[in-house]
Amino acid sequence: MSTTPRPLEGLRIVEVSSFVASPLCGLTLSQLGAEVIRVDPLGGAADTNRWPVTADGNSIYWTGLNRGKKSVTANFREPEGQKLIQDLVTESGPGGGILVTNAGGRAWMSHETLSAKRSDVITLELLGRTDGTPGVDYTVNAALGFPAITGPTDYAGVVNHALPAWDVACGLYAALAITAAVRRRDQTGAGAQITLPLEDTALAVAGTLGYLTEPQLGGGSRPATGNDVYGTYGTDFVASDGGRFMLVALTPRHFRDLVAMTETGDAVAAVEKALGADFTAEADRYTHRGILTPLFAAWFARHSTAEVEAALAQSSVLSERYRTFDEVVESGVLQKNPLFTELEQPGIGRYLAGGLPARFDGEHYFTGPAPELGSSTGF
């Protein structure tokens, strides 16, 4: 293991949080070397026993997001508990004075109150909606437009995503904001009051990717495309024995290889000529996907999963076979990837846990297990 200090060693983060975005911010900072102290109310916050859980009722969810942290519990309703949290934030040395929370709205934990005790304090408050009212990933997403274009094209309803994408993005933005505020404090001595609404995270990403720009320019909402990739050629195919594959042909080379692999050269050339299309162009491959896909699908329907995998392995086409989480684990990919290391989590068991995805000088950063709730109180 490397003896080189991690980038954020020497920082102390106090995290008063629950659910995904705020704990993920703390986990990320912990993986980068910061000391992170999670503070919960007595008995735990609302996510302490959140699913998934073990057969004994221990939360896999909670332990996954709180690896490597210290755990303190306090009575948030009493002055003594409030003072404990204030002191943790403001009396934590030159690398301290940092609070991350999604449990704002408390005067005793506000930036104004804490900055009166420590002028260079950095506070980051994660909000639900822009106006400060409550919101969670799935409600923010519903108001944004993505469920209206998610799911099968022959389904008239809306489809929620399974991945809490906005929570994840918000948590990572929060970790970035903290590191930026620390850098500014190191340069100027100034603290920072940061607010980060989940809704603004989602709006910013949707705008950057063009989903909100198209309607402003008169193009209207983006259409639902099912498993087709918008704006290029990509879709799913089913092998003769039921194996399903996702393929993406981003470049002319990818498309040529897909045509060659599926032995559809003459048919594709005839379609191209009849339509006056140019299949070296992404736009034309996307526009005419309804004609191209059945041509390719016939080849997949004649070949087994193993035969398709063998052919794709010799091709430049971007592809993966659809798998369940069980299949991912059973495939051995976790054991082969240095991102994962064995972790003994009390109350959960021994399993392979992921570290920080970014490698620093070839090294992934890992943390220890999650603490027992309240085990660091009074440390």
200: annotated active-site residue: no
From the list 167, 257, 266, 361, the catalytic residue is 167
* Residue position matching structure tokens 């306090």: 74
Q: Active-site residues: which are they?
A: 167
